[in-house]
Amino acid sequence: MALELRHLRYLLAVAEHGSFTHAAEDLHISQPTLSQQIKQMERTLGVQLLDRTGRTVRLTDAGETYARHARRALRDLAAAERAVHDVQDLTRGHLRLAVTPTFTAYLTGPLTAELHTRHPGITVTITEETQKHIENGVLADEFDVGIAFTGAHQPGITTTELFTETLSLVTGTQHPATAGQALPVHHLAGLRLALLTADFATRSHIDAYFGLHGVSPSITVEANSIQALTEIVQRTTLATVLPDSVTHDHPHLTPVPLDPPLPTRTVTLLTRTDAYQSAATRAFTRLTHDVIRTRPCTPARQSTGPGTVKGTV
């Protein structure tokens, strides 16, 4: 039997679901047909790919090796198909963008608007994910480009630094803390805060700052939405901590610098080092730099770290 692409997909589906029944449902084929196809595949290769003895079907050592190459083959084939259909004049195309949730509040909108203005034929799929999932998705060819932060990136990720993001205490315009001067960090102990939940990278950044300076503010509200925080802070005496860029678009919010200030962090584009970059991806990268220049952002510092493209905007 000559192996076909469907056999690779069958094997990976069983490995993902750990079950012939669930994999067959996902593939829209019968369970006996799926089982027969995998057995034929094993006979053709002369090796057992799946261990069927436990409650959950799992890959054997040989199956793990084969599945790793199968995933890579399917990923490369998908990239080849996109390359063939890529339209260099940008009259059509598709971009798969992943961002950490913070950027939805102030960056995703302007970038998407500019892309639509310049290239209305390009469609966009935008996904909010954690940085870890963004990098995994970029490496697995699920996303063309991600927007996240510099740090310890996975092998195979190339970064292009965009700008330096600063964070401040954020209050409503009538909050008593808004006195026009930097607020000493120990004064935070007397404030009631509304913060992002712990699964946000921004919250980890904030908590590390609190821990460094030995303060434990009263956290009254936790939310997994920047929009929810901005609405709450505008209507209450609660304060929050957000990137300064968020407050630029909210006249009823006031950033209050802290003393010492919160550490800055560098925003970066993430791509796969060896990935084919479509015309849509290249166009998006160019316009991202253009949009950043029009925003009140601090240029990123030059970096010479591995996997980093040097440059400022």
Q: How far is CA 272 from CA 40, 116, 136, 288, 295, in A?
A: 35, 24, 10, 17, 27
Task: Count structural domains, the chain.
Answer: 3
CATH of the domain at 292: 3.40.190.10
How many whole angstroms separate alpha carbon 20 and alpha carbon 14? 6
Are residues 121 and 180 both part of a single domain?
Answer: no
Asked if 194 and 238 touch (Cβ cutoff 8 Å), the reply is yes
CATH of the domain at 231: 3.40.190.290
**Neighbour count for residue 200 (Cβ, 10 Å):** 19
How many whole angstroms separate alpha carbon 86 and alpha carbon 133? 26
Are residues 252 and 269 both part of a single domain?
Answer: no
Boundary (domain end) residue, out of 34, 61, 84: 84
Q: What residues make up the domain containing 26? A: 5-84
Are residues 58 and 204 both part of a single domain?
Answer: no
Longest dimension (CA), the chain: 77
- Give the CB-side neighbour count of residue 224, counting CA atoms within 13 A: 7
Nearest to 233 by CA among 165, 166, 173: 173
Are residues 153 and 192 both part of a single domain?
Answer: no
Q: What is the identity of the amino acid at 219?
A: I
The DSSP bridge partners found for residue 218 are 192
Are residues 269 and 155 both part of a single domain?
Answer: yes
Are residues 79 and 38 both part of a single domain?
Answer: yes
How many whole angstroms separate alpha carbon 49 and alpha carbon 63? 4
- Global pTM value: 0.68
Six-digit token string for 153 = 């990136």
Boundary (domain end) residue, out of 35, 68, 84: 84
Are residues 109 and 40 both part of a single domain?
Answer: no
Are residues 73 and 211 both part of a single domain?
Answer: no
Are residues 129 and 194 both part of a single domain?
Answer: no
Q: What are the two backbone dihedrals, phi and then psi, of residue 183, each rounded to the nearest 5 degrees? A: -95, 120
Boundary (domain end) residue, out of 84, 115, 150: 84
Each residue's pLDDT, cut to its tens digit, for the chain (313 residues) gives 678 889 999 999 999 999 999 999 999 999 999 999 999 999 999 999 999 988 899 999 999 999 999 998 888 888 777 777 777 778 888 999 999 888 988 899 999 999 999 999 999 999 998 888 999 999 999 999 999 999 889 999 999 999 999 999 998 865 555 556 788 999 998 889 999 998 888 898 999 999 999 999 999 999 988 889 999 999 998 999 998 888 887 888 888 899 999 999 999 999 999 888 889 999 999 999 999 988 766 666 544 334 443 332 2
